[in-house]
Amino acid sequence: MTVRDRRSRPVVAIVGAGFGGLWAAKALRDAPVDVLMIDRRNFHTFYPLLYQLAAAELEPQSVAYPVRSIFRNQHNVRFLLADVERVEPTANTLHTSEGPVRYDYLILTPGSTTNYFGIPGAAEHAWPLRTLEDGMALRDHILSRFEAAAREPDPERRAKMLTFLIVGGGPTGVEFAGALSELIVGPLQKDYRELDLHEVSVVLIEQGPRILSSYPARLSDWAARRLAKLTVDLRLGEAVEAVEPDGVVLRGGERLLADTVVWVAGVRGDPAMDAWGLPLGRSGRVVVEPTLQVENAPNIFVVGDAAVLPDQPLPLVAQVAIQQGKTAAANIKALLSGQPCRAFRYRNLGDMAVIGRGAAVFSRGALQLTGFLAWILWAAVHIFNLIGFRNRLVVLATWAVEYLTFERGSRLLRTPGAAARLVSAR
Amino acid sequence: MTVRDRRSRPVVAIVGAGFGGLWAAKALRDAPVDVLMIDRRNFHTFYPLLYQLAAAELEPQSVAYPVRSIFRNQHNVRFLLADVERVEPTANTLHTSEGPVRYDYLILTPGSTTNYFGIPGAAEHAWPLRTLEDGMALRDHILSRFEAAAREPDPERRAKMLTFLIVGGGPTGVEFAGALSELIVGPLQKDYRELDLHEVSVVLIEQGPRILSSYPARLSDWAARRLAKLTVDLRLGEAVEAVEPDGVVLRGGERLLADTVVWVAGVRGDPAMDAWGLPLGRSGRVVVEPTLQVENAPNIFVVGDAAVLPDQPLPLVAQVAIQQGKTAAANIKALLSGQPCRAFRYRNLGDMAVIGRGAAVFSRGALQLTGFLAWILWAAVHIFNLIGFRNRLVVLATWAVEYLTFERGSRLLRTPGAAARLVSAR
């Protein structure tokens, strides 16, 4: 058989090629182990830029990169394209769609999924924004609403087609609202001369008293003013009580009519984990020891969005996953050499959110930046973190062209007919 | 209503945003008409580079461009995203999925589709390469075969997974064979260290005695030697008698086992046209007058792959469609000013086919070029013809990076599961 068989070295299986998984694997580069990376997709998704995919600002290949290419030069990493179905800790075995996989150490980093908090209709009628497919589907839907509006004579129906409700005023909601607004007042305005763009509204709904609630209040206020300048309609202190096929119902009974409701209000652990047989805590996440180990299974680590540290509430961001991935790798190396595991400590390198072209907010301890300088810092950090030389180059080139021409991504609309043919073709 | 209503000017409806349709619309820029461009997709597909999409060399946005953006600065063009269901010449009306459309002049340029010539199993089991969706689906399939082979212990089954049969030795077959071969010996070899790439075969099957039969024999021979150098297995003078789920049967009974059969052996008129009520000739194409008008319907023109001129056999290439589109537009302007229509005359600007990195064949009358010079000419012509500034820039940047690093496109695999979720999500 061609798959290499090196039974002599312990196998570290890593489930999930997100930030936690990639950085764990990289940290094991020189360890005397074989790493088996397992993911149901053949690519890593750069989640922080997914909203730019949905806003037709970036193309899929700029926010995703094939796992095999990432590890092309790290020879102790193999890749398996498979779905994990169950973990059997007593037998050190993962059961996958491609058969059982034996491990000596296991790092689980399956990430998270959208949390609808049981709001009626939300899972059925709102658009999530968690995966590459979500981003592409949402983009298709948004573009299709403009095509539909362009041939719709009735102003009320047209207004509903051109209303975009975004539920959740965290970084993703804020960034997406800004990008969507700029897509509309920029390229779409030029492409749909028959439409009056005053009929378009982008509405950001946030339950709390301010957007970006985890940031200093000064930055929240700055971001809110900036969004208002981009004609985003901010609805603070408003809770969505139900999502319906044609809009949302707010607490208090007000109805907002819209063909598009985007749900970025919360995340929870991947429901696939429910079947894995691990101790799940609040929001379907795994409760781990301070060392990121699972109780009673010291060779299993959980990192990233899927892990909860009882005494350390952490934001669900890439930084946390990256640092935890490194800690898990370090602890496996410690176990291999008979050393004790160390507890995870989060070091916040700063929070950043971008609000349209050339503007962002940045916060790190006492340092607070707004505007162009924060945006440049944001762009540098994101491009630096994008996996792979080619991705960095393409993203940089795309941004440069966009900045110079104010032109967006290709805006190719995969029509439902075409998409259906695509799948049924085989 | 927002859609502009200018009844005073005659309406020229153009069905199809391919080469013929785009160039006809551009040629009507200063004519006293309103142009209504109708297509079932919101983008133009640059068909000559589709094989590079399938070979993971280019991304969708490099071979497609939104129609509305193309005509952003031509104010007498409107766009309608719709399927044409029927033409009613006596009422000057098109019936579309979005309702009836009245026209004064009509240019039909629906293009062509794959011709399987009734070979049993071909339509069911072979992969076509005619649309953007075809290209994406084929690319996913090819990449999935490598993932499957990487976990397949049985050498015979692995060989079948890694055999790629291309049926048809015309320019598309030759270009795709070259690109696929280079994808495999380049990036895939690096990404699939567990595979022995000697197990991979790319086989090009051509019924005639030589590939590129419309080119001078010297160029065919050069191209054949070049493909052989790229380890493409050329099977000349072999006809496919049947396509089966696991390969093809050749005339004479030989079976070639393969998970992948790509069918680029012929084209025919779009079957949608069968229902349009026009005089169809051989291969489902419309027989037109020398002026490109439809008999007894002098305000209807057919151009491009969908048209047959009885006394002028023409290749089905972009050049013909472009020149015919311009002629149709000129003839409509002639009709508007009471002048006679002129007959279409094809002026061949040269034929070109690329065979892998830095090599092509070019033929124009007595001029015959091979190798790098022909390739540079090819690259210049294609980039020049790509629609839109941004596309040219991205293609150029992509090629430059690829040439310098020998790295290919993103190779993101849209897994069947993910694709199915995408469609069923709504």
Helix/strand/coil (H, E, C) string of chain A?
Answer: CCCCCCCCCCEEEEECCCHHHHHHHHHCCCCCCEEEEEECCCEEECHHHHHHHHCCCCCHHHHEEEHHHHCCCCCCEEEEECCEEEEEHHHCEEEECCEEEECCEEEECCCEEECCCCCCCHHHHCECCCCHHHHHHHHHHHHHHHHHHHCCCCHHHHHHHCEEEEECCCHHHHHHHHHHHHHHHHHHHHHCCCCCHHHCEEEEEECCCCCCCCCCHHHHHHHHHHHHHCCEEEEECCCEEEEECCEEEECCCCEEECCEEEECCCEEECHHHHHHCCCECHHHCEEECCCCEECCEEEEEECHHHEECCCCCCCCCHHHHHHHHHHHHHHHHHHHCCCCCCCCCCCCCCEEEECCCCCEEEEECCEEEEEHHHHHHHHHHHHHHCCCHHHHHHHHHHHHHHHHHCCCCCCCCCCHHHHHHHHHCC
**Parallel, antiparallel, or unpaired: how do β-strands B240-244 and B247-250 relate?**
antiparallel
Bridge partners (DSSP) of residue A166 are: A204, A262
Q: What is the mean pLDDT of chain B?
A: 87
Computed from CA positions of residues B127, B128, B132, B135, in that sequence, does the dihedral angle turn out positive or negative?
A: positive
Using CA atoms, how far apart are residues B166 and B255, in angstroms rounded to an integer? Answer: 14
In chain B, residues with a C-beta closer than 8 Å to the C-beta of A98 are 151
**A189–chain B Cβ distance below 8 A for any pair:** no
Using CA atoms, how far apart are residues B401 and B395, in angstroms rounded to an integer? Answer: 10
Question: How large a percentage of chain B has pLDDT more than 90?
Answer: 63
Answer yes or no: do A153 and A233 share one domain: yes
Query: Taking Cα atoms as reference points, which of A396, A364, A359 lies closest to residue A378?
Result: A359
Q: Nearest chain A residue to B56 by CA: give it.
A: A61
**CATH value at residue A318:** 3.50.50.60
Answer yes or no: do A259 and A279 share one domain: no
**A197–chain B Cβ distance below 8 A for any pair:** no
Phi and psi angles of residue B167, each rounded to the nearest 5 degrees, phi first: -100, 115
Contact across the interface for B66 and A411, Cβ inside 8 Å = yes
Determine the 3-state secondary structure of B231 from DSSP: coil
**Parallel, antiparallel, or unpaired: how do β-strands A286-287 and A307-308 relate?**
parallel
Q: Nearest chain A residue to B136 by CA: give it.
A: A422
Answer yes or no: do A250 and A132 share one domain: yes
Answer yes or no: do A244 and A369 share one domain: yes
If you count residue pairs, one on A and one on B, with CB atoms under 8 Å apart, how many are there?
A: 179
Q: Which parts of chain A have pLDDT scores under 70? A: 1-7, 382, 384-411, 413-426
CB B196 within 8 A of CB B147: no
Query: Taking Cα atoms as reference points, which of A9, A81, A28 lies closest to residue A301?
Result: A28
Is residue A196 in some structural domain? yes
What long-range pairs does B217-224 form, CB within 8 A, spacing at least 24?
B218/B368, B219/B361, B219/B363, B219/B368, B219/B370, B222/B361, B222/B370, B223/B174, B223/B353, B223/B355, B223/B361
Contact across the interface for A59 and B60, Cβ inside 8 Å = yes
Contact across the interface for A2 and B153, Cβ inside 8 Å = yes
Is residue B108 in some structural domain? yes
Query: Taking Cα atoms as reference points, which of B369, B374, B319, B304 lies closest to residue B349?
Result: B319
Q: Nearest chain B residue to A146 by CA: give it.
A: B81
Cβ neighbours around A76 below 10 Å, total:
18
CB B22 within 8 A of CB B56: no
Cβ neighbours around A159 below 10 Å, total:
17
Answer yes or no: do A260 and A275 share one domain: no
Q: What is the pLDDT of residue B277?
A: 79
Is residue B62 in some structural domain? no
In chain B, residues with a C-beta closer than 8 Å to the C-beta of A69 are 187, 190-191, 411
Residue B81, both tokens: 């995203």
**CATH value at residue B148:** 3.50.50.100
Answer yes or no: do B327 and B309 share one domain: yes
Q: Each residue of A252-271: b (16+ CB within 10 Å) or e?
A: eeeebebbbbbbbbbbbbbe
Determine the 3-state secondary structure of B183 from DSSP: helix
Phi and psi angles of residue A5, each rounded to the nearest 5 degrees, phi first: -125, 100
Q: What radius of gyration do chain A's Cα atoms show? A: 22
Contact across the interface for A419 and B418, Cβ inside 8 Å = no
Contact across the interface for B190 and A143, Cβ inside 8 Å = no
Mean pLDDT of B321-341: 96
Q: What is the pLDDT of residue B200?
A: 93
Q: What is the pLDDT of residues B16-50, one digit of tens each?
A: 999 999 999 999 999 999 999 999 999 999 888 89
Residues 6+ apart with CB under 8 A from B220: B210, B211, B212, B213
Is residue A409 in some structural domain? yes
**A254–chain B Cβ distance below 8 A for any pair:** no
Q: Nearest-CA distance from B83 to chain A in Å?
A: 10
Answer yes or no: do B169 and B248 share one domain: yes
Q: Nearest-CA distance from A254 to chain B in Å?
A: 25
**B124–chain A Cβ distance below 8 A for any pair:** no
Q: What is the pLDDT of residue B390?
A: 55
What ipTM goes with this model? 0.78
Answer yes or no: do A401 and A312 share one domain: no
Using CA atoms, how far residue A42 sits from A2, A302, B384, in Å, is 20, 21, 34
Candidates A43, A83, A412; nearest CB to B64: A412
Q: Is the pLDDT of residue B425 over 90?
A: no
Contact across the interface for B196 and A2, Cβ inside 8 Å = yes
Candidates B81, B412, B423; nearest CB to A420: B423
Of how many residues is chain B composed?
426
Residues of B acting as catalytic residues = 175
Q: What is the pLDDT of residue A287?
A: 93
Higher pLDDT: B376 or B36? It is B36
Window 377-396 of B, Cβ < 8 Å to A: 389-391, 393-394
Contact across the interface for B41 and A418, Cβ inside 8 Å = yes
| Alpha helices, H only, B260-407 | 318-336, 372-385, 389-405
Contact across the interface for A419 and B420, Cβ inside 8 Å = no
Q: Nearest-CA distance from A398 to chain B in Å?
A: 8
Q: What is the pLDDT of residue B287?
A: 93
Residue B13, both tokens: 């409806």
Q: Nearest-CA distance from A127 to chain B in Å?
A: 9
Highest mean pLDDT of the ranges B79-93, B185-199, B398-412: B79-93
Q: What is the pLDDT of residues A13-62, one digit of tens each?
A: 999 999 999 999 999 999 999 999 999 999 999 888 899 999 988 888 87
Answer yes or no: do B216 and B137 share one domain: yes
Q: Token match 């800690």: residue?
A: A327
Contact across the interface for B411 and A66, Cβ inside 8 Å = yes
Is residue B74 in some structural domain? no
Structural domain total, chain A = 2
Window 38-57 of B, Cβ < 8 Å to A: 40-43
Beta strands (DSSP E) in B145-187 are 163-167
Mean pLDDT of B112-136: 94
Contact across the interface for A412 and B195, Cβ inside 8 Å = no
Answer yes or no: do B367 and B286 share one domain: no
Answer yes or no: do B130 and B254 share one domain: yes
Q: What is the pLDDT of residues B82-105, one digit of tens each?
A: 999 999 999 999 999 999 999 999
Window 326-355 of B, Cβ < 8 Å to A: none
CB B288 within 8 A of CB B298: no
**Poorest-confidence range of A361-365, B121-125, B178-182?**
A361-365
Contact across the interface for B42 and A147, Cβ inside 8 Å = yes
Contact across the interface for B43 and A413, Cβ inside 8 Å = yes
Q: Is the pLDDT of residue B286 over 60?
A: yes
Q: Nearest chain A residue to B156 by CA: give it.
A: A1
Q: What is the pLDDT of residues B291-311, one digit of tens each?
A: 999 999 999 999 999 999 998
Q: Nearest chain B residue to A197 by CA: give it.
A: B2
**B102–chain A Cβ distance below 8 A for any pair:** no
Highest mean pLDDT of the ranges A281-290, B189-198, B223-232: B223-232
Query: What is the 8-class DSSP label of residue B386?
Result: S
Is residue B413 in some structural domain? yes
Using CA atoms, how far apart are residues A76 and A30, in angstroms rounded to an integer? Answer: 8
Window 137-166 of A, Cβ < 8 Å to B: 137, 141, 143, 147, 150-151, 153, 158
Q: What is the pTM of this model?
A: 0.85
Report the Cα A251 to chain-centroid distance in Å.
Answer: 28
Using CA atoms, how far apart are residues B417 and A40, in angstroms rounded to an integer? Answer: 9
In chain B, residues with a C-beta closer than 8 Å to the C-beta of A36 are none
**B200–chain A Cβ distance below 8 A for any pair:** no
Is residue B182 in some structural domain? yes
Residues 6+ apart with CB under 8 A from B267: B112, B113, B114, B115, B130, B283, B305, B316
Answer yes or no: do A244 and A126 share one domain: yes
Is residue A139 in some structural domain? yes
Residues of A acting as catalytic residues = 175
Residue type, A397: A
Domain of A128 in residue numbering reads as 122-265+357-417
In chain A, residues with a C-beta closer than 8 Å to the C-beta of B147 are 42, 81
Using CA atoms, how far apart are residues B245 and A262, in angstroms rounded to an integer? Answer: 42
**A68–chain B Cβ distance below 8 A for any pair:** yes
Q: Is the pLDDT of residue B424 over 50?
A: no
Of how many residues is chain A composed?
426
Residue A243, both tokens: 């999502």
Contact across the interface for B412 and A64, Cβ inside 8 Å = yes
Contact across the interface for B423 and A421, Cβ inside 8 Å = no
Question: How large a percentage of chain B has pLDDT more than 70?
Answer: 88
Highest mean pLDDT of the ranges A408-417, B119-128, B147-156: B119-128
